[in-house]
Structure 1
Amino acid sequence: MGQKGSSEQRDGSKTREDSSAADDNHKCRVCRFPLLVALSQLLLGVAVTVVAFLMLAISPSLLARETPHWAGIFMCVVAIVGFILYCVTYRPDERSTVQFIVKLLYFVFSTIGLVISVLVVAFAGYHHAQTSSFSCLTSAEACVCTLDPRDPIARTFTYEGVSDCQEITETLVLYHMLQIVLNLAQAFFCAVATFIMWKHRYQVFFSGLQIGSLQRWNKI
């Protein structure tokens, strides 16, 4: 009877192990943190960079805050750190110094990326509202724009290398709107990354019941 019971226990444990292994195989690895978040950050960073260089191709007179390629490049760096964190996290030794450093870098970079994305949204929103109100005239391979053409002392904005002012009043306005949407999405995923890491670090605690149960296990 004892041998039969022990064999049944071994069979039951093997069955549970097989079922758990099958469950692990069916889990979506792409959905695990931080792979999905880092992948979204990488795609958004590339999109922001491409749109920024398309904006810069309209006119070289555009300022750096109007073409936020720097925000997209930094987001790509954040995504690469997230990929490294994903690889480090699933190693057997999860309490290594390398993992701590990569987690800290990813948390800090995601926080900085959140701030940068919010700044880009503010800049893009301001320039979108400003460009939408422009009245432009073509002059010698340049587009001269003003907010109020009836005001003789109104500030003028000269965009060199522009042969058609519709590229400023229509295309550039569309690109500013795209930057607002893309950077809002970047800010969202950076906020998700920082929240998950903060929650995992500071909201994991042991209650008294759990401590007592651990002590009882140690006594046994």
Structure 2
Amino acid sequence: MGQGQKGSSDKKESKRRRDDSPSPEDGNKCRVCRFPLLVALLQLLLGVAVTAVAFLMVAISPSLLARETPHWAGIILCLASILGFILYCITYQPDERTSMQFIVKLLYFIMCTTGLVLSVLVVAFAVHHHSQTSSFICEKADDDCMCTLDPNDPIARTFTYEGVSDCEAITGTLSFYFLLQILLNLAQGLICAVGAFIMWKHRYQVFFSGLQIGSPAQQWQKV
């Protein structure tokens, strides 16, 4: 009878330990590990910079296409940084026991992944347009600027930029802005990749395997 009571007590103790997942050794440390504040700050700064440069490009000529002025990529990154700040401020709960924590972490991971994909697209577009504008031969036509890659080719495509006072703004300033967008979006993509990796590592790479079988201390083993 004594052994039965002892076995029942051991089972209850074991169940209690399984239900109570291991608490973080340091709440603040775990919070910083799962989302460093520096990542959110960099995302916000880069998002604002990308958006500002895009609007400066629009000021050169209103006929520029949306893929040439990637303000949308900067706005996405700003939204991701806001989610990061919200996630940082949420009280840490082990094993994502609050629905708010899980939803914000999921949204932040999606936004970081989306930001990474958009940054790659912007870099691809910016590289193409930078190479193109650097090779333009432009001439003024009223309030517009007519540009072509080969003025001697009668069937060569002509690019018309409206509202340009000086064609140097296309071959010089606009080309420089494309180069700036390449650098900013490369950094933006890197930061988004870091943010997504941190979320993945916290959710899947570090986990608890349960009680150590045969261990006298019966402690959780972290693998």
Pairwise TM-score range, normalised by the shorter structure: 0.7 to 0.9
Q: Indicate which of 166, 171, 174 corresponds to 2:173.
A: 171
**Partner letter of residue 36 of structure 1?**
L
Instruction: Give the RMSD, CA atoms, in angstroms.
Output: 2.7
Superposed counterparts of 1:1-220, under 5 Å: 33-90=35-92, 95-206=97-208, 210=212, 212-213=214-215, 216=218
When residues 174 and 213 of structure 1 are mapped into structure 2, their CA distance, relative to the original with a 3 A threshold, is farther
Q: Deviations over 1:54-73 (max 9, x none)?
A: 00000001000000011111
Aligned residues: 194
**Partner letter of residue 199 of structure 2?**
M
**Partner letter of residue 204 of structure 2?**
Y
Q: Distance in 2 between matches of 1:36 and 1:109?
A: 17
| Contact 1:88/1:94, CA 8 A, preserved across alignment | no
When residues 67 and 105 of structure 1 are mapped into structure 2, their CA distance, relative to the original with a 3 A threshold, is same
1:95 Cα deviation from its structure 2 partner: 2.5
1:92 Cα deviation from its structure 2 partner: 9.2
**Partner letter of residue 105 of structure 1?**
L
**Partner letter of residue 76 of structure 2?**
F
Q: Any stretches of 5+ residues in structure 1 without a counterpart?
A: 1-19
1:89 Cα deviation from its structure 2 partner: 4.4
Q: Distance in 2 between matches of 1:204 and 1:32?
A: 11
Give the aligned partner of residue 22 of structure 2.
none
Percent identity at matched positions? 73
Q: Distance in 1 between matches of 2:194 and 2:217?
A: 36
Q: Distance in 2 between matches of 1:128 and 1:211?
A: 62
Q: Deviations over 1:108-148 (max 9, x none)?
A: 11001100010000000110011111000011011000000
Give the aligned partner of residue 17 of structure 2.
none
**TM-score, structure 2 as length reference:** 0.79
Give the aligned partner of residue 16 of structure 1.
none
1:196 Cα deviation from its structure 2 partner: 1.2
1:206 Cα deviation from its structure 2 partner: 3.9
Deviates more, 1:192-201 or 1:52-61: 192-201
Q: Distance in 2 between matches of 1:61 and 1:101?
A: 40
When residues 89 and 182 of structure 1 are mapped into structure 2, their CA distance, relative to the original with a 3 A threshold, is farther
| Contact 1:34/1:83, CA 8 A, preserved across alignment | no
Q: Distance in 2 between matches of 1:112 and 1:84?
A: 18
SS at match of 1:164: coil
1:186 Cα deviation from its structure 2 partner: 0.6
When residues 99 and 214 of structure 1 are mapped into structure 2, their CA distance, relative to the original with a 3 A threshold, is farther
Q: Distance in 2 between matches of 1:32 and 1:200?
A: 6
1:170 Cα deviation from its structure 2 partner: 0.3
Q: Any stretches of 5+ residues in structure 2 without a counterpart?
A: 1-24
Superposed structure 1 runs of 4+ greater than 6 Å apart: 29-32
When residues 206 and 212 of structure 1 are mapped into structure 2, their CA distance, relative to the original with a 3 A threshold, is farther
**TM-score, structure 1 as length reference:** 0.80
When residues 100 and 208 of structure 1 are mapped into structure 2, their CA distance, relative to the original with a 3 A threshold, is closer
Q: Distance in 2 between matches of 1:121 and 1:52?
A: 13
